[in-house]
Structure 1
Amino acid sequence: MDRFTLRLPADLARRFDAAAVSRGGRSRYLRTVMEAAANAPLPDLAGPCAAVGRAKLTIRLSLEDMALLEAEATRIGLLRTQWVVALIRRRLCGGLQLTPPETMALIGMRRELNRIGVNINQIARALNTAVMEGQVLDAEVFQLAAFASEIRAHVSGLDEAFSGNLAYWSAEP
């Protein structure tokens, strides 16, 4: 069983304990509260288009248009309803409409940038603590330049991904 430890202001701890007395004690009540929080639906984080409720929209398409819609949605990894919702949200609210593969690619880029940042911190720490001369220092400086170049390439890739996403969902040709 996992253990959670947290610090609370004394007043909050006293109030929680008072509420927990009639609910089986601190641990049992805390588990109940945590279970309710874990089972609660996650908020919709769609920004200005965040749905307070849901409404249904029905459209009629020709069989040819439906086949094209199905093929395009499948090609980018969405269900046809998800594709139509993303298109509408892009036109009404702007912003990115990421597909699952795009989301995974961006997560991968973030992971790589984080890895590079860790390496740069290690090199900077080594440069700060060691007195290096000659080839050793040159190698470290060269490695830093290589990391800077790699970071620029990843940032450029992110820029291209964002631009491509916005262009895909745009109505302009």
Structure 2
Amino acid sequence: MGQRAKRTTTVTVDLGDLKAPWQAWCQNNGITPSHALRKAVRQAMDRRAIQVPAPRSRVTSKRERATARIELNLTTSELAALKKMAGYEGYVPTKWLVAMVRAKLTGQPQVGQAELESLARSNQQLLALGRNLNQIAKVLNTAPQNRAAFRVEVITELSRVIQAHTKKVSDVLRGTVERWHLQ
């Protein structure tokens, strides 16, 4: 009798205390331990593939007018759901689809009219708060005797954080309103 060729695709794993529960689980699920392990490895690898970030297009400051068209065929129920979702998020269906595509292509958030208004109000309030903090800091800097009551560096840092936040929100607002040129 000839010798069997050595298989190069096998893996030997010492399961220790897990061997008996593993075999019992496989038997209860009507699957061989090898098949179950292959399935688990595939699922783990598939999950990892999903977690790899998708390639994103860069957005430049060059404005581009949206003129390219695409036809999209949906079922009646899909169109109804699209209209409902778009309306709920403050969009007409076409603009909702465009926002979804842009968000996927660029990785940048897209906001509807309601969110735009909320972000603008938020920025106005944060800027007013920042101005008030600056006035407090100036008073404390001109009247050193009051420094014991307040920590100027905390107020200054809070003001810096607010300004950074308002810039970020302004960038989101500007990016949402303007048309983009993708590279």
TM-score by length of 2: 0.47
Which structure has the bigger radius of gyration? 2
Structure with more relative contact order (C-alpha pairs < 8 Å, separation 6 or more): 2
TM-score by length of 1: 0.49
